[in-house]
Structures are given as C-alpha cells and as structure tokens.
Amino acid sequence: MAYRLAQVINLIIQNTVDGAGAIDAKAIHAPLGTNLVAQDITSMVQSLAGVNALPFENGRFTGVIHPFIVGDILISTQPNGITDVLKRTAEGQEKLRELPSPDGDSVQVIDWGGASFHQSTLVKLTAGTPNKLRTYVIGKDGVIGISFGAKENTQIGDGDWRNLNVWVRRLTEPSGYDPSRMIGGFASYNAMYTCTLPPDPTMRVRYTDAATAIT
C-alpha cells in the first residue's frame, strides 16, 4: 500500500511538472541529438541559472532520470562527455566500473554540471518511433507540495490527527461477495495532498524528451 501511495504522489508531482512548458516555453529543452548527452544536462542547468533559479541547500540542482537514459549517457563516446572526462583519472575510471544504485541513492556517476540525478523508472514516456523518455532538472521551489493536514475526518477529541489515515476492517459476517468468508478483512488509506507550480511565469524546471539505445 505504501508503494502504491508513493506512485500516486509521484504521478501527481510528475503531471504538475510536465505542465510547466505550457506556462514557460523555456522549461522544454530540445536535446542536442537523438540520445541524451552530458552537454544536454549542462544546457538545462545553465538555462535555470540564467533565470536566477536557485539550487537546493546542497548547492546543486536535482534531476530525475530513467535507467535507460543513464546508460545512454555512460556509453556515449562524445568528446567532453561524462565518460570522456571520467576515464582520464583513476578515480573516474573506478566510478565508470560501478553502475548507479538501482534505488537511486548513488548519484556519483550522473553528478554533472551542477545537477545530481536520482534514477527512476517513473518518468513520462512518449510513445512513438522511437519511444522517448523524459529527463527532469529541477531547482528550489520548482514544484511546491501542499499537504492538507487538518483535523477533519477524525473523531472528536482525537489528538492523533495526521495527513494520512489507514483504515483496517475485519470481516466477521459472510456477504454476497464472499459467502464462505474467505476474505478476513481489508485495508484502505485516505491521503490529502496536492502540488502546484510556483505563481511565476518563469519556471524553475527544465525537462527534455530523448530516445534511447537501450531496451
């Protein structure tokens, strides 16, 4: 259930960010080639810097990237790309020997041009010939999450009120759907959350759609 809820919240945030291009055309970056390369990351970061978008507290912008696109960047032989730069030092070669962590916690390879990327399969897919996957670069306040934490939907006098409630019900009587009582109970959750783009015609996000050579 927690995984499903996380997917729902991710979809809300993703759909919100995907709408940034309708407000600010600069939010949409046209890739330099068929596949994404390191120079595309640099261009998106500098585009944000050029409109005074701020990085996060660690001084870096945050990116979300699909594993296939990570592979495209790492196998690219473009001069001055990530692989071309890292191969010139022993430390960089060691990074190239290790794949990025599947859970996205390790960003030591795709950490480029002022942006640190988290790997995720939950990005926008544009079907076509070829299919295209979206890569995001986001600055501080690029998307604003709003939690509707309030004391409604709770019992009177209940001091433990939260934004997320999980309801569990045990079934003790047979029903028309389950006359033999094979289902012992069920659980559900109720969450209150939404997000929005900042009230500003200048967006603090950049994204691009690129094909991939990996399947």
Percent over 70 (pLDDT), the chain: 82
Beta strands in the chain (DSSP E): 61-65, 111-112, 115-119, 125-126, 132-138, 144-147, 164-170, 185-191, 193-196, 205-210
pTM: 0.80
Round to whole Å and give the CA distance between 172 and 181: 8
* pLDDT value for 171: 84
* pLDDT value for 49: 96
Element (H, E) at 150: none
Torsion of CA 106, 61, 205, 141, to 10 degrees: 110
> Residue 52 — very low, low, confident or very high, per pLDDT cuts 50/70/90?
very high
Residue 196: φ, ψ to 5°: -150, 160
Round to whole Å and give the CA distance between 21 and 27: 5
* pLDDT value for 20: 97
> Residue 184 — very low, low, confident or very high, per pLDDT cuts 50/70/90?
confident
Burial of 24 (C-beta count, 10 Å sphere; 0-12/13-18/19+): middle
Q: Who wins on pLDDT, 82 or 28?
A: 28
* 102-148: pLDDT as tens digits: 554 444 557 888 999 888 899 999 998 899 999 999 999 999 988 76
Q: Give the pLDDT mean for 60-73.
A: 92
Q: Give the pLDDT mean for 153-158.
A: 56
DSSP code at position 107: -
Structure token digits, residue 91 = 């430390």
Weakest-pLDDT range from 55-59, 73-77, 80-84, 166-170: 80-84
Query: Hey, is 111 helix, strand or coil?
Result: strand
Tell me the residue type at 142: G
Q: Give the pLDDT mean for 51-75.
A: 92
Alpha helices in the chain (DSSP H): 2-18, 20-23, 38-50, 67-75, 82-86, 90-97
* pLDDT value for 100: 60
* pLDDT value for 104: 47
Q: Give the pLDDT mean for 150-172.
A: 68
Average pLDDT, the chain: 84
In angstroms, how far is the first alpha carbon of the chain from the final one? 29
Query: Which residues does 69 contact at the CB level (< 8 Å), separation at least 6?
Result: 35, 36, 133, 135, 210, 212
- For residue 137, the cross-strand partners are 63, 206
